[in-house]
């Protein structure tokens, strides 16, 4: 019987059907995009662009990124991605989400990842069932960045 639990303060990040739960400490800011056409934003669409943005500590303009529901960088930002977060690891990159929800003082049982979904690179640690009944992946944001910067090079 699994007795591991997710406890503490977290944030639910939704990108269409993908739901990630990350530690609230890793989030620097949460903002709504105002008076901007999402389609006009420059979007980091591949590993090289993401690495460049991560290594450039003097970005002159905001740099935006979005994930697909398959945990990959997208080449454009969908119209429904109007909530933006910045993270401790790379505050210059604005991540666009369909929904962001604070999960304060959670205490939820963790389900282990199915063996089929486990790999050395995966940023996903476990699965939780939210109050809505939907499932979400528990994710370390730094591991997610490592996954995004390494996964394309290994599949190419």
Q: In what order do the strands lie in the sheet with 111-112?
A: 99-109, 5-15, 18-23, 135-139, 124-129, 111-112
User: With contact defined as beta carbons under 8 Å apart, do 148 and 54 qualify?
Assistant: no
Q: Hey, where are the domains in the chain?
A: 5-155
pLDDT in tens, 14-70: 999 999 999 999 999 999 887 566 666 778 989 999 988 888 766 667 789 999 988
Positive or negative torsion for Cα 82, 29, 26, 52 = positive
pLDDT in tens, 76-108: 888 888 899 999 888 889 999 999 999 999 999
Strand partners, 93: 63
Positive or negative torsion for Cα 87, 54, 67, 84 = positive
pTM, full prediction: 0.86
What's the pLDDT score for residue 155?
40
The DSSP secondary structure of 99-118, one letter per residue, reads EEEEEEEEEEE-EEPPGGG-
Calpha distance 92→85 (Å, rounded): 10
End-to-end, the C-alpha distance of the chain in Å comes to 40
């Amino acid at each position: 019987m699994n007795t591991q639990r997710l406890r503490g303060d977290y944030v639910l990040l939704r990108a269409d059907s993908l739901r990630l739960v990350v530690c609230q400490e890793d989030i620097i800011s949460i903002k709504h995009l105002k008076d901007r056409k999402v389609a006009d934003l420059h979007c980091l669409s591949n590993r090289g662009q993401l690495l460049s943005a991560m290594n450039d500590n003097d970005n002159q303009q905001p740099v935006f990124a979005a994930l697909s529901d398959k945990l990959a960088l997208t080449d454009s930002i969908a119209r429904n991605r109007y909530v933006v977060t910045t993270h401790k690891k790379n505050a210059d990159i604005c991540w666009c989400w369909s929904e962001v929800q604070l999960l304060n003082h959670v205490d939820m049982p963790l389900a282990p990842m199915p063996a089929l979904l486990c790999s050395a690179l995966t940023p996903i640690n476990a699965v939780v069932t939210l109050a809505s009944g939907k499932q979400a992946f528990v994710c370390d944001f730094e591991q997610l960045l490592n996954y995004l910067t390494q996964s394309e090079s290994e599949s190419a």
